[in-house]
Chains A and B, each alone.
Chain A
């Protein structure tokens, strides 16, 4: 019987340790017919599982243009992520998805893109950056401001360096005060202040802000000062989910099921929702 809760079986094709407690895992459908049908939008999420330990929800952090595999990235914090941490190339894990709305990348065409991320929020920004770089002619200037607690906590550092080499791309990395090393070349400070210091021109721009609530809260006034309206600032909510398909009753923020109508919202939409996220 086909059912919406039975996952696809995926083969692990690559595991990378990004930081002492963050790994990224690339997976492929074992069922080749399923692989050829599969499509998703950047910004959508999946429900990934280690059999015996359970399921957990992560953004699909690869670009939707990469057809041979998909990738997710997680921090080891609980039962499921401890089990996923032990996964090696060739192992089998479960995947359900894609779920959620994804980023409105068509609407963003012709605009400058400002990406502001904190900590483990890089993966959901990374997929959008690669998507924009692969459709470079459709987007204006790309600015990435990415901060982590310490130098050792930055993820996808090789890719940050790769993006910085591209045309019309500016990448600013920062670490919290005290998190720098003696050879640290990036900025020291929190994302909102570092972004403000960078004096990014914000006309005709959209911003994607993802990170801890405190980072988002302090970044919004900076964007506002630059003249950005709440309809041009996007974020991705992280409400806890189980089913992913609007049934289990867990992820709602006020009247909105985050798994169906989100996880991507504009600040304008969030301002109308009760503080339930």
Chain B
């Protein structure tokens, strides 16, 4: 037995959540033709249909692009440090794409192995993920190549399926059930299966190639057009590399972490001037290596959900898919 909620009912529910002081975020049209995940000022802002997926990823609600680690204050030669003790409000990520939701359990590994990253975990624990199953895909989508699908439940607390006037509601966790308890009605109706894109490459073959062909000219040749802008990483749901820097002066300021990207030349530059990855070829290879070999070996999962944002946001129209599908012919 599944449950349904009317579309109007869900909008009312979202209004309730916002009124309760919860942060609610979802796809918003930020300018004509551009849909981004953003915090909702009102439940009416959310865009439910008419686009494939938002241009950014939803990770920034759990792993912000700029985050305070601590503040420092100098008095003479003494220093005082303070952490950000601010409460993280409960937040609901609504109408999230399954390829965004699936990124959270993948990211949980790196932020919890060996030692816990509290900054990540406190936001993660305050977050409930309500995914909306996809009903369309474009030529950049490749979730089915990395073991996911337009209806994958991974990482979601609740999955919604569009039934026309209603949504089918599948509550998957206690967190999800709590939000919809008494709000959704039992129903016999379930959504039809949507298969999504045909698989475009074999991730096992990618791993074999990047492990075995580390010095292949393919990496240089296939990435000649890469500008090193990092748009692929910044809009990726699973890219999580960061930098730690001080902002302030010698009297007071803050230590923060900012998103970083393996596509930037200074990412691995040594103080001596030596750079183990001196060109875009080696940097793009690193991105493939991390996602399809290092991460699966360490944590048992591919660090990619097939969302295709790397290609959609690439000023050269490249991205992961171009590089990965090319391997077959390399």
Residues of A within 8 A of B (CB): 1-7, 9, 49, 51-56, 75, 77-78, 81, 88, 90-92, 94, 212-213, 238-240, 242-243, 245-250, 252-255, 260, 274-277
Known pairs A239-B268, A249-B240, A260-B114; A53 contacts B70 (CB<8 A): no
The answer, yes or no, to whether B244 is at the interface (CB within 8 Å) is yes
Q: Is B276 an interface residue (CB 8 A)?
A: yes
Q: Does the CB pair A254–B241 fall under 8 Å?
A: no
* In contact, A51 and B72 (Cβ under 8 angstroms): yes
User: What is the bound-complex CA distance between A105 and B93, given in angstroms?
Assistant: 51
Interface check B243, CB cutoff 8 A: yes
Q: Cα distance A208–B206 when bound, in Å?
A: 36
In the complex, chain B residues whose CB is within 8 Å of the CB of A1: 83-85, 118, 122
- Looking at the assembled complex, report how far the CB atom of A1 sits from the nearest CB atom of chain B, in whole angstroms: 5
The segment out of B157-165, B167-175, B252-260 that lies at the interface is: B252-260
Q: Which residue of chain B lies nearest to A243 when distances are taken between CB atoms in the complex?
A: B244
Complex alpha-carbon distance, A81 and B270, angstroms: 13
Q: Which 4 residue pairs spanning A and B have beta carbons closest together?
A: A249-B241, A274-B214, A92-B79, A51-B72
Q: Tell me how far the C-beta of A271 lies from the nearest C-beta in chain B, rounded to whole angstroms.
A: 13
B260 touches A6 (CB 8 A): no
**Which residues B275-303 have CB closer than 8 A to chain A?**
276-277, 282, 286, 289-290, 293-294, 297-298
Taking the closest CB of chain A, its distance from the CB of B276, in whole angstroms, is 5
Q: Which residues of B contact A276 (CB under 8 A)?
A: 214, 276-277, 282, 286
Query: Which B residues are closer than 8 A to A by beta carbons?
Result: 69-70, 72, 74, 77-79, 81, 83-85, 110-111, 113-119, 122, 214-215, 240-246, 248-251, 253, 255, 257, 260, 262, 267-272, 274, 276-277, 282, 286, 289-290, 293-294, 297-298
- Nearest residue in B to A81 (C-beta to C-beta)? B271
The answer to whether B268 and A250 have CB atoms under 8 Å apart is: yes
Expressed in whole angstroms, the minimum distance between the Cβ of B109 and any Cβ of chain A is 11
Complex Cα spacing A2 to B114, Å: 16
Query: Residue A51 contacts which of B83, B116, B240, B250 (CB distance < 8 angstroms)?
Result: B250
Contact across chains for A248 and B242 when beta carbons are under 8 A apart: yes
Extra A-B contacts (10), CB below 8 Å, given A51-B72, A54-B244, A77-B271: A5-B119, A49-B246, A51-B74, A51-B253, A52-B246, A92-B74, A92-B77, A92-B78, A92-B79, A275-B276
Of B72, B119, B298, which one neighbours A3 at CB under 8 angstroms?
B119
B272 touches A212 (CB 8 A): yes
Asked if residues A250 and B85 are in contact (CB atoms below 8 Å), the reply is no
| Nearest opposing residue in chain A for B74, CB measure | A51
Sample of 13 A–B contacts (CB below 8 Å) = A1-B84, A2-B118, A4-B118, A52-B248, A54-B245, A88-B77, A91-B77, A239-B268, A240-B267, A246-B110, A249-B240, A250-B268, A255-B298
